[in-house]
């Protein structure tokens, strides 16, 4: 959970980044003259010459015989227009590029399956064709990645060529506002209408107006949903298949969810205190999931790319009031002073019907993989009355290019990364998250139904409250939504402040 002093840290960072970041890149760009930056200029699509043949591809050559006149349309043979590669002449001069993350080893493992072998072969073919090298490598760690990026750009970079992989963090928002990221909308080899970008829409989240600063390629990672304990459900008169069937036929709603929780929450020893509860969760995450599930949001964007205030929209308000009521009835059981993640142990202990958390928790690196004494089920967060379908919040690690790189260097890096992140030929529908889920402990219907659904475009969305400078939604508002709270008072308390943040961001 974020610490409550985060906003003060962020404010201090912004004051520094706005002053230093504005000059750091310009001061050292001209000194970056190493071999990696003196590549053969890349040929853009505006400089290529279309391939030609002896016949004009836009004309047709009539075929004639002794019996037919040349102008008889039935005898016309159309010459196919040859496909032109606009980047056929691109040569990146042996440029080496590193995608900085916090998990890739120095020596990659050998391919574990046919997909990985095909992926490696495709990438090698692209590197050979356009004369470059690219790989992923752990340099930062999860905690330091945002600040490492800020420091790198403020210091003017070096002779390495990086694509930085980051995470949602106030430092990233500050870097955007301070001009430390390259504006990807100016790079003509990137087309954000491509499916691999539309599958996750990360670029929409990290944009101001028409400028785009971060992106992600490929299907979105499945995130927040409802785990359930089939044993507790059984004691309440319900089954796992019942819930999966409701999800499949569109009847997995707030109302259905609440009914099952009510049936499962029981006082089995007669002391007036339930021994089994309906829900446990990270409250802040659950509040946002409820808002999203009803078609609401805290901050929106209009057609011009401007942020809009949506905290008091009917869909949002209805969700906030509903989840506060749910907390009061089914989630009021954490001991006084308990750690923020106490709910995880509660779920493992087998006293909770539903736990709201992220899908990766049941994977091989998750908190529930090794010592959970039952096989959890997993469905999407139930849909609210204002929503047409189930929606989960997409939250992928953004990639960016340092703003201190010159235009040609940034173009070359973007061109190479665009190829590196392309779908592998023959595996265009491959979703690594779905495949990986097979190794987790979640049940088969979750693997086959829920997790693939969460990556589908109609079941995902992005939000914007995390990228408005100065706006810190957790301590300012979300953490104030609890069982029995006054939602209207919480909205009123932050209304003017958030509107001021939005006005400033739009300027």
What mean pLDDT is reported for the chain? Answer: 85
79: pLDDT strictly greater than 90 = no
13 belongs to a structural domain: no
Q: Which domain holds residue 317?
A: 224-392+443-506
104 pLDDT band (50/70/90 cuts)?
very high
In this structure, the answer to whether residues 133 and 281 fall within a common structural domain is no
Look at residue 170 in the predicted model and tell me its pLDDT.
Answer: 80
**Residue 277: pLDDT above 90?**
yes
The answer to whether residues 267 and 285 belong to one domain is yes
pLDDT classification of 230: cutoffs 50, 70, 90: very high
Number of domains forming the structure of the chain: 2
Residue 8 has pLDDT above 50, yes or no: no
- The backbone torsions φ and ψ at residue 93, rounded to the nearest 5 degrees and listed phi first, read 60, 30
For residue 406, tell me if it sits in a domain.
Answer: yes
Distance CA 428, CA 45 (A): 25
The distance from CA 144 to its chain's CA centroid, rounded to whole angstroms, is 19
**For the chain, first and last CA: distance in Å?**
31
Task: Give yes or no: residues 339 and 383 share one domain.
Answer: yes
- For residue 495, the domain's CATH number is 3.40.190.10
Residue 80: its pLDDT value, please?
Answer: 66
**Residues of the chain with pLDDT > 90: what percent?**
68
In a domain, 76, yes or no: no
Together in a domain, 103 and 169: yes
For 446-474, write each residue's pLDDT tens digit: 999 999 999 998 999 999 998 898 999 99
Q: Please indicate, yes or no, whether residues 151 and 208 belong to a single structural domain of this protein.
A: yes
In-domain check, residue 337 = yes
Instruction: Mark whether 111 and 190 lie in a shared domain.
Output: yes
pLDDT value of residue 395: 87
Q: Between these two residues, 69 and 368, which has the higher pLDDT value?
A: 368
pLDDT at 62: 36
Give, in order, the Cα–Cα distances in Å from 453 to each of 242, 390, 448, 458: 18, 9, 9, 9
Residue 61 has a pLDDT of 36
User: In sequence order, which ranges of 421-486 are alpha helices (DSSP H)?
Assistant: 432-437, 444-445, 451-454, 473-476
Q: Which residues have a Cβ under 8 Å from the Cβ of 399 and sit 6 or more positions away?
A: 99, 163, 164, 165, 166, 214, 215, 216, 217, 417
Q: What pLDDT digit, counting tens, does each position of 152-175 carry?
A: 999 999 999 999 999 888 888 889
Residues 424 and 479 in one domain: no
Measured CA distances, 60 to 64, 69, 80, 167 (Å): 13, 15, 9, 54
DSSP secondary structure code for residue 447 in this structure? I
Query: Span 491-499, mean pLDDT?
Result: 98
The 10s digit of each residue's pLDDT in 317-350 is 999 999 999 999 999 888 888 898 999 999 999 9
Give pLDDT, residue 34.
Answer: 38
* pLDDT, position 53: 36
pLDDT at 30 exceeding the cut of 60? no
Asked if residue 495 has pLDDT above 70, the reply is yes
Same domain for 414 and 466? no
Question: What per-residue confidence (pLDDT) applies to 10?
Answer: 39
Residue length, the chain?
507
Angle subtended at Cα 112 by Cα 109 and Cα 113, rounded to the nearest 5 degrees: 145
Q: pLDDT by residue (tens digit) across 181-225?
A: 999 999 999 999 999 999 999 999 999 888 999 999 999 988 899
47 in a structural domain: no
Residue 24 maps to a domain: no
**Residue 173 pLDDT:** 86
Do 155 and 200 have their domain in common? Answer: yes
* 103 and 228, same domain (yes or no): no
The pTM of the full predicted model, rounded to 2 decimals, is: 0.79
Q: Within this chain, do residues 199 and 307 fall inside the same structural domain, yes or no?
A: no
Residue 395's nearest CA partner among 455, 349, 454, 462 is 462
Q: Tell me what the mean pLDDT of segment 240-260 comes to.
A: 98
Q: Are residues 285 and 320 in the same domain?
A: yes
Asked if residue 62 is part of any domain, the answer here is no
Is 158 part of any domain? yes
């Amino acid at each position: 959970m974020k610490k409550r002093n985060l906003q003060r840290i962020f404010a201090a960072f912004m004051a520094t980044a706005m002053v230093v970041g504005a000059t750091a890149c310009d001061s050292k760009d001209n000194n970056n003259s190493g071999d990696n930056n003196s590549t053969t200029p890349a040929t853009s699509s505006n400089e290529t010459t279309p391939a030609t043949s002896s016949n004009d591809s836009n004309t047709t050559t009539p075929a004639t015989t002794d019996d037919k006149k040349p102008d008889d349309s039935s005898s016309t043979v159309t010459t196919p227009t040859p496909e032109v590669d606009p980047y056929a002449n691109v040569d990146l001069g042996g440029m080496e590029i590193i995608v900085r993350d916090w998990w890739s080893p120095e020596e990659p493992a050998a391919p574990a399956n046919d997909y990985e072998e095909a992926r490696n072969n495709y990438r090698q073919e692209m590197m050979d064709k356009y004369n470059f090298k690219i790989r992923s490598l752990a340099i930062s760690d999860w905690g330091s990645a945002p600040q490492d990026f800020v420091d790198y750009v403020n210091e003017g970079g070096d002779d390495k060529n990086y694509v930085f992989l980051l995470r949602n963090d106030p430092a990233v928002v500050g870097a955007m506002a301070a001009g430390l990221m390259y504006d990807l909308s100016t790079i003509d080899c990137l087309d954000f209408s491509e499916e691999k970008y539309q599958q996750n829409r990360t670029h929409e989240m990290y944009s101001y107006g028409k400028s785009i600063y971060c992106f992600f390629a490929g299907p979105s990672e499945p995130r927040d949903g409802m785990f359930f304990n089939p044993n507790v459900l059984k004691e309440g008169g319900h089954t796992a298949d019942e819930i999966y069937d409701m999800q499949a036929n569109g009847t997995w709603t707030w109302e259905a969810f609440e009914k099952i929780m009510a049936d499962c929450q029981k006082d089995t020893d007669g002391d007036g205190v339930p021994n089994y509860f309906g829900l446990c969760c990270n409250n802040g995450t659950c509040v946002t999931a409820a808002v999203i599930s009803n078609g609401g949001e805290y901050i929106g964007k209009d057609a011009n790319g401007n942020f809009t205030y949506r905290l008091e929209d009917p869909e949002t308000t209805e969700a906030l009031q509903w989840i506060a009521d749910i907390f009061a009835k089914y989630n009021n059981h954490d001991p006084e002073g308990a750690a923020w993640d106490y709910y995880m142990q509660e779920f493992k202990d087998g006293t909770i019907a539903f736990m709201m958390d992220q899908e990766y928790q049941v994977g091989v690196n998750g908190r529930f993989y090794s010592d959970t004494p039952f096989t959890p089920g997993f469905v999407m967060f139930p849909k609210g009355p204002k929503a047409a379908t189930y929606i989960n919040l997409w939250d992928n690690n953004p990639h960016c290019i340092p703003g201190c790189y010159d235009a040609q260097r940034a173009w070359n890096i973007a061109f190479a990364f665009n190829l590196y992140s392309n779908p592998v030929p023959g595996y265009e529908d491959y979703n690594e998250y779905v495949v990986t889920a097979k190794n987790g402990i979640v049940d088969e219907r979750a693997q086959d139904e829920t997790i693939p659904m969460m990556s589908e475009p109609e079941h995902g969305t992005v939000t914007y409250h995390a990228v408005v400078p100065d706006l810190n939604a957790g301590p300012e508002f979300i953490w104030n939504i609890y069982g029995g709270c006054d939602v209207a008072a919480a909205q009123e308390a932050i209304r003017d402040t958030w509107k001021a943040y939005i006005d400033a961001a739009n300027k």
